[in-house]
Amino acid sequence: MAGGRRVGSVTPEESTAKRVAEVLAERDAVQANLLELDGGFAKQVLESATLTGQTRDRWATASAALATLWETFLAYSAVVDRVAALGSGSKRPARKDLPELTRLLNEGCIQLPGPPVPLAHRDLAATGRPAVTLAAAVGAMRRAFTQVAEVTSAVEAVWAAVAVPLEAAATELARVRPMVEGLGADLETEFRDAEQAVAAQRAAANADPLALWRPAAGGAVGDGSVDIAAASQVRDRVAALAPRITEAGLLRQQARQRIDGLAAAVAAARAARQDAIAARWDAATRITALPPPPPDVAAPPLASLAALADTGQWSRLAAELDRCEAELAAASAQTADLRQTAADAMGKREELRGLLRAYKAKAARLGAAEDAGLAASYDQAHGLLWTAPCDLAAAEAAVVAYQRAILER
């Protein structure tokens, strides 16, 4: 025994002081979370916004729950303040205060807000709404807090997710906005429609964000995903439109230069075609079965292109220039193919001539140079290769036959 108390035992005063400290810590945590919820961005916006649909209905319920939560907290906090006055500080609770502290900590002492208990379910000696304990008050506040936080968290998740594609679209529209004026009715109309689509998606997300919220099946409270399909579609629409506006704006700045460049490119392509045709005719005097020359390079419609530029029809001008340039590229490719075919044919003839000479030397090393059959095979291949124009297919077959005859020897 020490000072009239067994060593290691806990006095009622000490046990009550520990319980008081726990209640005060819990009240501080409740207050901090409630203040964070009440000052949150989503709650502030929802209070002042004009809501529709699911969000209007759910926020009306959640807002009422939040008001009740604050009323409950004020009543709860008043009791906790009394507990703190009796049981905290540098001294342990006085023995004379233990009965009141015990009652406040363990018995019904908080009147919750709300309608009274129906008369049919009320005891004769009971009040309209019986008082509850501190623990029951915290439980009621916890349920209301969860209800409100579920709504605000879902709304914040929707706004954050939808903002990504919509901000991307708005940024692209802002970038090309200075170029739009004067690009033609079609592009100007598409641009205005895209701006309206972005604004409509933003307004819908602000007015009824919960229409886009998809709670997770069987998941915890607050788990879910956001349907951003409509916002993403608008972003993709703008992403396709912006390059067209940029291209048209650049075309407006460089229209004359691009038209003149097309004329110069056609002139160069025609000159290259003439050179390729000359090379083809030169090869045709030596090689048979060459492909015919490609069609002439079409003259560009310079007058109509200039008229489109003068009248500001930039979309049509861009399409016409693209068409003309594609046709020119195809014609240039045909010219290059013709030149390459002629060069390949000449090269093939020289290759076969070299092979024939090499095989004749091999026949001499084998001592078969005077063989009548080999000589006849050689003469046939030689005659084909040195005849103008040369039939390359027949000449190649003759060279292969001569090679086979030598190998058989």
Q: Indicate whether 241 belongs to any domain.
A: no
Backbone angles phi, psi at 108, to 5 degrees: -65, 120
Q: Indicate whether 56 belongs to any domain.
A: yes
**How far, in Å, CA of 142 to CA of 144, rounded?**
5
What are the distances in angstroms from CA 94 to CA 11, 38, 101, 134, 298? 12, 38, 10, 21, 109
Count how many residues are written for the chain.
Answer: 409
State the burial class of residue 353 (Cβ atoms within 10 Å of its Cβ: 0-12, 13-18, 19+).
middle
Sequence-separated contacts (24+) of 211-214 with Cβ below 8 Å: 211/53, 211/54, 211/55, 212/158, 212/161, 212/162, 213/154, 213/155, 213/157, 213/158
The domain boundary residue, chosen from 156, 176, 209: 156
Q: Indicate whether 133 belongs to any domain.
A: yes
Residue 1 confidence (pLDDT) = 43
Name the residue range of residue 88's domain: 12-116+127-156
**Farthest CA pair distance, the chain:** 141
Residue 117 confidence (pLDDT) = 54
Residue 370 confidence (pLDDT) = 77
Q: Are 339 and 276 in contact (CB under 8 A)?
A: yes
Q: Indicate whether 164 belongs to any domain.
A: no
Q: Indicate whether 37 belongs to any domain.
A: yes
Residue 5 confidence (pLDDT) = 53
Q: Kindly report, residue by residue over 205-242, the tens digit of the pLDDT.
A: 999 999 999 988 765 556 889 999 999 999 999 999 99
Q: Indicate whether 171 belongs to any domain.
A: no
Residue 39 confidence (pLDDT) = 87
Mean pLDDT by 10 residues, the chain (409 residues): 53 80 91 90 88 93 91 90 76 76 84 64 59 89 91 93 96 94 86 97 94 79 85 96 90 87 92 90 88 88 89 84 92 92 92 92 82 89 91 92 86
Q: Indicate whether 252 belongs to any domain.
A: no
0.85 cut: is pTM over it? no
Residue 120 confidence (pLDDT) = 57
Residue 2 confidence (pLDDT) = 45
DSSP-derived letter for residue 224 is E
Give the total number of structural domains in the chain. 2
Q: Indicate whether 49 belongs to any domain.
A: yes
Residue 232 confidence (pLDDT) = 96
**How far, in Å, CA of 209 to CA of 206, rounded?**
6
